[in-house]
Amino acid sequence: MSKTIFRLGAWTLALAMAGCTLAPRYERPALPVAAQYPAGDSVPARDAVELGWREMFTDARLQALIAAALENNRDLRTAVLNAERAQALYRVQRAGQLPQIDAQGSLTRGRTPADLSATGAAVTGSEYQVGLGITAFELDLFGRVRSLKDAALAEYLATAEARDAARIALIAEVAKAWLADLALREQMDLARKTLEARSEALTLARQRYEAGASSALDLKLVETLVESARVAVATLTRRSAQAGNALSLVVGAPVARGEDASLLSDQQFVADLPAGLPSQLLAQRPDLRAAELRLQSANASIGAARAAFFPRISLTAGIGSASPELSELFEAGSRSWSFVPQITLPIFDAGRNRANLRVSQVDRDLAVAGYERSIQAAFREVADALAARGSFEEQVEAQERLRQGQADRLQLAEQRYKAGIASYLDVLDAQRELFDAEQDLVEARQQRLLNLVDLYRALGGGLRERGTGA
């Protein structure tokens, strides 16, 4: 009899594993964007996905911050835990394709009163049982369990891709926070130097006013510039402290901010990143791969909803030994077995199955719309970064020339003032224009570097630590 049960179990398992699936055939939606970027190019350089973030960002302190963020950032840690949870859920669904075998043991004692006993006397008896059993194992003839497993697998893979997308976004956010901190500290340093210079000029202006060599208007103008510089210092000090807090938050640990901060002009990021074609983003960006996997999961869920319209067959079976005495439990003749097949055929459910099928179909359509929206957003991010790349280079160069022109103008104004052929108002105006040009130059350099970070992230760079390994 044991051979019969074994053959029956093997036959049952074969039927379950050979079950078909009613999920519709998956087809990737067409790209809802143009075939090429508006400002695309063919720079002969390495793809962003092959460029390690340590090669992209060469500053040792920035590299240390990125490494610390990858270790400590809570958002990334949450993404990793979500991936682990999705993996465990997939294992749960996958286990449903195989029967669960349990060891069972029981003791039953009972008393039959005399008026119900066949012997006319009260009977007290015991029954011992031990064995192996399969409880309610579903024969997956129509692929319901398989579709649920496929949907769970796609969800797990999508969550893993989302984890990689979070890693890329985190690296970019650290770089941006670092650049913001550098820019504000550089601007604050310029404001402090300007405040010192204007304070010295105010001392001289007061001496000239007290000596009758200048008017009260000139003195008030100098005082106005001093207060303006003091306002700039206070504002930039506050913003710099907030930038440091933001950097600590994204890193996930306190960040020591020394006085020897690098200048934006010292930062050298890789600029020759080839854009490729929009279709390549599907393989380069994990967030797009995650969106497509969620679409595949929704597609598989339709198969499970369709299978609910068909009969569901489940099996419960067991083999073991039973005896009224514990000492006789494993003796000859004590073997027992059971085989209980059960079939459930939906007849009337008030439209529940049809509604569930419609829900799964709408979920699939929503996933298609989300996937296409993700592609369009990715296309715009790359296109915007490409469009800005050349213009930022020109802007920085023009701003450097403007700053130098304002410096020359201030020098000439001071010479003319000392020669008595120009008023002090011209000097003050030149000082103000030079300060604004210096601040704008720092901001232009920051925007140029931020654009490179955005392009690197938009093209899917940041998963690799080095160019030759993950």
* Count of CA atoms in the C-beta half-sphere (13 A) of 76: 24
Compute the distance between CA of residue 183 and CA of residue 440 in angstroms, rounded to an integer.
10
Can you give the pTM of this predicted structure?
Answer: 0.82
Residue 468 confidence (pLDDT):
41
243 or 134, which is more confident: 243
Helices (H) and strands (E) in the chain, counts: 10, 4
293 or 426, which is more confident: 293
Q: Looking at residues 154-162, what average pLDDT do you find?
A: 92
Percent of the chain that is helix, strand, coil (3-state, to 5): 65, 10, 25
The domains of the chain are located at 31-97+140-308+355-458
Residue 182 confidence (pLDDT):
92
The yes-or-no verdict on residue 219 having pLDDT over 50 is: yes
Residue type, 130: V
% of the chain beyond a pLDDT of 70:
91
pLDDT tens sequence across 392-433: 889 999 999 999 999 999 999 889 888 878 877 888 889 889
Compute the distance between CA of residue 143 and CA of residue 98 in angstroms, rounded to an integer.
13
Residue type, 86: A
The yes-or-no verdict on residue 382 having pLDDT over 80 is: yes
Nearest to 462 by CA among 68, 60, 70: 70
The values of phi and psi at residue 320, to 5°, are: -175, -145
Asked if 205 and 222 count as a contact pair (C-beta separation under 8 A), the reply is yes
Q: Does residue 206 sit in helix, strand or coil?
A: helix
* Long-range residue pairs from 342-346, CB within 8 A, at least 24 positions apart, any chain: 342/136, 342/313, 342/314, 342/315, 342/316, 343/311, 343/312, 343/313, 344/311, 344/312, 344/313, 344/314, 345/311, 345/312, 346/308, 346/309
pLDDT tens sequence across 78-98: 999 999 999 898 888 888 887
Compute the distance between CA of residue 332 and CA of residue 232 in angstroms, rounded to an integer.
97
Nearest to 393 by CA among 272, 274, 277: 272
Q: Looking at residues 184-208, what average pLDDT do you find?
A: 89
Residue 281 confidence (pLDDT):
82
Residue 43 confidence (pLDDT):
45
Compute the distance between CA of residue 347 and CA of residue 8 in angstroms, rounded to an integer.
29
Give me the residues paired with residue 313 across strands: 139, 343
Residue 269 confidence (pLDDT):
84
The values of phi and psi at residue 462, to 5°, are: 125, -5
Question: What value does the mean pLDDT of the chain take?
Answer: 84
**What would the two tokens of residue 374 be?**
């993700």
Q: Among 116-120, 314-318, 369-373, 408-412, where is mean pLDDT lowest?
A: 116-120
Nearest to 99 by CA among 7, 19, 16: 16
The yes-or-no verdict on residue 6 having pLDDT over 70 is: no
What band does 45 get if pLDDT is binned at 50, 70 and 90?
A: very low
pLDDT tens sequence across 328-343: 677 776 777 888 888 8
% of the chain beyond a pLDDT of 90:
38
Nearest to 336 by CA among 132, 186, 60: 132
The dihedral built from the CA positions of residue 294, 297, 302 and 308, taken in this order, carries a sign that is: negative
* Count of CA atoms in the C-beta half-sphere (13 A) of 374: 23
What band does 128 get if pLDDT is binned at 50, 70 and 90?
A: confident
The yes-or-no verdict on residue 101 having pLDDT over 50 is: yes
CATH topology for 31-97+140-308+355-458 is: Outer membrane efflux proteins (OEP) (1.20.1600)
Residue 102 confidence (pLDDT):
83
Name the DSSP class of 262.
P
Nearest to 280 by CA among 36, 456, 28: 36
| Cβ count near 150 (within 10 Å) | 24
Name the DSSP class of 260.
-
Residue 256 confidence (pLDDT):
80
The yes-or-no verdict on residue 61 having pLDDT over 60 is: yes
What band does 247 get if pLDDT is binned at 50, 70 and 90?
A: very high
CA 81 and chain centroid, separation: 12
The yes-or-no verdict on residue 294 having pLDDT over 80 is: yes
What band does 259 get if pLDDT is binned at 50, 70 and 90?
A: low
